[in-house]
A and B are shown apart, each in its own frame.
Chain A
Amino acid sequence: MAEYRLEMENVSKSFPGVKALDGVHLKVRPGTVHALMGENGAGKSTLMKCLFGIYKMDTGSIKIDGMETTIENPDDALHKGLAMVHQELQPIPERSIAENMYLGRYPKKKIGPFAMVDHKTMNEESEKWLKDVKMNFDPKAKLGTLSIGQMQSVEIAKAVSQSAQIVILDEPTSSLTDNEVEALFRIIRDLKSRGVAMIYISHKMAEIRQIADDITIMRDGTYVGSWEVKDISDDEIVRQMVGRELTNVYPPKEDYRTDEVVLEVQNLSSIHERSFQNCSFKLRKGEILGFGGLVGAQRTEIMEAIFGMRGIASGDVLVKGKKVNIRRPKDAIAEGIGMITEDRRGTGILGCLSIADNVSISSLNQYLEANVMLNHKKIEQLVQENVGKLSIKTPSSKTLIQSLSGGNQQKVIIARWLANNPDVLIMDEPTRGIDVGAKYEIYQIMIELARQGKSIIMISSEMPELLGMSHRIIVMCNGKITGDLEGEEATQEKIMSFATQFGN
């Protein structure tokens, strides 16, 4: 038997304009759990997609049990003994457990010329595999009746039934209760004893200590190193994950903050148990307040709740000391709050409309004549002003927004909010998918706004951006605020350690 069940060597992958993976290695021994760690965007998912043939590697090789192989697509990966338990399960809750396990590979029996699904065999086989991972479910029950943890066990049983020798677990415990985590670990240990190799993607230190044997750390698409878990401390892991050189690509700023609190959030809790709970913070006039954390820390959710896009179970939002009741974005806008959402395409741009329409849509009432008619001249004036001020590169204000680059689209959205003259601007990942030049311009706009006495909340998953732009940084983990750092005292290590405080 080869020393490694899976060897990925020197894997590189480029997308237009960005090198997502650069010479990454990953070697997994049979019968072990191998933790794969790294910040958001370190390239873990890209690496797994290369392994499953979803992306084609530019360079690099894959060996399974010492034999060099290529994987063309996810189906091919399955035949070669790879299986993935997804972070976000995509089951069909209204169908039975057995049908979910055998989706796309139903056992068939022939009745005359017709191939029919052999339900009996399917149910029996499913039950056998479920028992194999110590799960006692009725395979005919609807999948939707199970808890998320149980569904995950079904996924694992499915992987086992496909005789997978390499199983990838992508943040498997992110939505599990403690008991469910215990059940999961029992199954993992069982698989280990059978020689199955597992890749375990997680940010939770305690879990890694508990279940993983080896660890590989990635950073910004590069390979940092591999260790046995017992040879590396938690601090060292954090240091290796964030240990990049900080280069100064941020425009200079000063402390424009005054003592006036413009937005205060008190004990805010989501209607969803697993979302943000009991969060409190204050935003001061002229402040750029950064929100850091890992994907899934519920930063976007809390901001969208403040803006009236999501439900709030309890807690208060105060604008300039006055309690407000925001049920819809419209209400938030009336209170002087603006929101640039994370998903520019989904909730930002009005694709098939012009730049002029996109800029003016949330401030149309300002250009009314006799209360009914829009003054197009005034609108055009506003648009031209902003196109100039934000240096939006476009042939005309009639151009459709969807034909602009990401950076210019983002500037149009910023212009939309500036037209409303908000006191608080929430910017969720304001520079995601934007080229370096436009990024710098957006930073300049943010600093100029703060200088004028506006307050900005910036959610960012890019550590350098967070450190380079914020006067103050709040860190969230798993729906809770775990850290609050003044700009000068914040370091990558401190943020990372707050961001991984799962409290277990």
Chain B
Amino acid sequence: MTKKMDWKQFLINYGIICVLGILVLYTGIMRPKFFTLRNLQSIALNVAPRFIIAVGVSGCLITKGTDLSAGRAVGLAACVAGTLLQKADYSGRFELTKNLPAYGIWWVLVVLLISMAICAIFGLINGIVISYLNVPAFIGTLGMQLMVYGICLVYTDATPIGGYRDDYTYVATGRFLGIPFLFWIALIVGLIMWFLYNMTPHGKYMYAIGGNEQAAEVSGVNVKKTKIIIYVMAGVLYALAGFLLGAKAGGTSVNMGQGYELEAIAACTIGGVSVNGGVGRVSGVLIGVLVFELLKSAMQFLGIETNYQYIVQGIVIIVSIALDIRKYIAKK
């Protein structure tokens, strides 16, 4: 291999991270406030829930699937949690739940579990549709995206939800050892997923299915079961992220989570999860989410209009996946 080829490989592997890194540095120089502790902390607080979503999607991507229902599931979870955790004396209480008594602090945890259970059911349906009905993940989860959005609209009647109990918003504002709860939760999720991916048969099966589904089947891997577990777990993670995002924002609406699945897929790809399956690490997902959030913040600091930000994000998504495909072609 020549030196020139090495450069090409390097650019394919890390090109997008380099370009975005330069953009971040440029922003830091042009706008000194970018690199203040305050801003970095706010970026980090955005990273935490996005990471939880992305790590959920990563399992789908590693098995050559995808999950386009992620964003809407996040929205539904936020709405379910929001409607169940409003202040008793809040004037604009949600119709269906306004007579709910003011339960103790344990109710926050119960609501989290309820949201998780609901999203787990949608994940289960995704998994069954993909593995038993053999519907391509792209189409199956696209349908689910619409369904979940519709269900969310029916449930909330498109009314915004606010007036949360203090113990719910405290989940986002509270700190342990000086570090926000959100960090701790994301850290624990990351550790659990790392353990699952690297230390359990489930993780090995997941990589094997992504590497060569038929060979995995011949080797005795229960492909259907493994895929279903992945989609159910993804659903649980979306619910957790939606719950946290609701607490962080102090309110929610049906539009919560819109487009998050694309950001998550982009972040995964930037972080080295291959859409061709079989490759991807939890640490890579974290880096991908970090880079993507830095990009968003940098654009805000540079004063780029929101509308243009969408265009840039779209380009980043396409370029990152195009580069990922290059890696695969190069191996052929």
Contact = CB atoms under 8 A, between A and B. Distances in A.
A372 interface: yes
Interface string B198-240: 0111001101101110111111111000000000000000000
Given A350-B211, A352-B211, A353-B208, A368 B218 contact: no
Nearest to A344: B215
Given A357-B207, A374-B200, A402 B219 contact: no
Interface string A453-488: 000000000000000000000000000000000000
Nearest to B201: A364
Contacts of B217: 309, 328-329
A309 B200 contact: no
A373 interface: yes
A339 B217 CA distance: 11
B278 interface: yes
Interface string B173-212: 0000000000000000000000100011100110110111
Contacts of A372: 199-200
Interface residues of B, number: 25
Nearest to A360: B204
A361 B199 contact: no
Contacts of A373: 195, 199-200
B61 interface: no
A376 to B, nearest CB: 8
A296 interface: no
A346 B274 CA distance: 19
Interface residues of A, number: 29
A229 interface: no
Interface in B153-167: none
Interface in A302-347: 307, 309, 328-330, 333, 339, 341, 346-347
A430 to B, nearest CB: 15
SS class of chain B's interface: helix, strand, loop or mixed? helix
Contact of B212 (A309, A333, A350): A350
A307 B212 CA distance: 18
Contacts of A91: none
A149 B201 CA distance: 49
Interface in B299-332: 331
B31 to A, nearest CB: 41
Contacts of A362: 219-221
Contacts of B216: 350, 361
A234 to B, nearest CB: 40
Nearest to A352: B278
A349 interface: yes
A351 interface: yes
Nearest to B278: A352
A25 interface: no
Given A357-B207, A402-B331, A341 B201 contact: no
B279 interface: yes
Contact of B204 (A330, A333, A357, A416): A357
Contacts of A368: 201
B215 A350 contact: yes
Nearest to A332: B220
A333 to B, nearest CB: 4
Contact of B208 (A309, A329, A361, A402): A361
Interface string A368-387: 10001110100000000000
Nearest to B195: A373
Contacts of B214: 346-347
A346 B213 CA distance: 9
A328 B208 CA distance: 17
A374 B204 contact: yes
Interface of B: 195, 199-201, 204-205, 207-208, 210-212, 214-222, 274, 277-279, 331
15 contacts: A309-B218, A328-B217, A329-B219, A330-B221, A341-B218, A346-B215, A348-B215, A350-B207, A352-B278, A357-B204, A361-B204, A361-B219, A373-B199, A373-B200, A376-B199
Interface of A: 307, 309, 328-330, 333, 339, 341, 346-353, 357, 360-362, 364-365, 368, 372-374, 376, 402, 416
Given A349-B212, A350-B207, A374-B199, 15 more contacts: A328-B217, A330-B221, A341-B218, A350-B215, A351-B211, A352-B277, A353-B208, A357-B208, A361-B219, A361-B221, A362-B221, A364-B204, A365-B201, A372-B200, A373-B200
